[in-house]
Amino acid sequence: MEKITYLDHSGFAVVTPSAILVFDYYRDPAHALKKVLHEYPSLPVIFLVSHHHEDHFNRDIFDLAQDHKRTYVLSNDIVSKVTHDDIAIAWMSAGDTVENLPGDITVKAYGSTDIGVSYLVTLPDGKTIFHAGDLNYWHWQQESTADEVRAAYNRFVKVMTRLLQDVKSLDMAFFPVDPRMGQDFSQGARLFLSNIDVKYFFPMHFWGDYREACDFENYVPDNTESLCLFVPGESVELIADKAIRVKA
């Protein structure tokens, strides 16, 4: 069983049988992480941060989960913002892998089309979780020039090509679907899902505009179960190939 709880924006807490993964903690208005930590007191906690942007990285993570065994997996661009010499941190650049994390978790970093990295997490049972960070086909078709659109596409395909060398399918994927981009806001997700077989897909980075981001008929293939968590604190449990929603 895995339990996924939406914290806010691109932040999620993912409870696995061997560890709690906390991705891109930015803010937690529902105090959902505190509830998760209380519910699973014996599990170690791994905080993963994709880059230093303030909507993905919050220094408060170093004060959280102090009653748990904590590990930090951080993108190298955060180095200048962290002064916690007393905390063990795995610093990651694209291509780096860290193994034997608490809970027998493995994390590999891939590139981004913005700052920092994206993460592939492999669980002891072989299940895979991908958090894209700010990896996306970022362009504004109505504003960008043809050369800018082409360059954005090439940057995205470069990272995707590297990821596809290692995986052809994912159990879970968290990926930006940002309506601010205008009419092409879901192109990145569409390209991602057309190249990688994803079992459960979670949109993120939609800045509260969940209606468009969660209109999955526009971009999610039939073989993928799309799960929209848009209320901070809302959760879904994945049990025996079924997704069961838990109210916030």
What pLDDT sits at residue 141? 64
Residue 109: C-alpha distances to residues 48, 50, 85, 129, 210 (Å): 11, 9, 22, 12, 28
- CATH number, domain containing residue 172: 3.60.15.10
One-character DSSP codes across 168-197? SEEEEEEEE--GGGGGGTTHHHHHHHHHSE
Distance CA 169, CA 198 (A): 6
Residue numbers of the domain that contains 142: 2-246
Number of domains observed in the structure of the chain: 1
Give pTM, 2 decimals: 0.96
Residues 146-162 as b or e (16 or more Cβ within 10 Å = b)? eeebeebbebbeebbee
For residue 3, what are its two tokens? 């339990």
Is residue 172 within 8 A of residue 200, CB to CB? The reply is yes
Q: What is the pLDDT along the chain (248 residues), one digit of tens a residue?
A: 899 999 999 999 999 999 999 999 999 999 999 999 999 999 999 999 999 999 999 999 999 999 999 999 999 999 776 767 778 899 999 999 999 999 999 999 999 999 999 999 999 999 999 999 999 998 876 777 888 889 999 999 999 999 999 999 999 999 999 999 988 899 999 999 999 999 999 999 999 889 999 999 889 999 999 999 999 999 999 998 899 998 76
What pLDDT sits at residue 105? 98
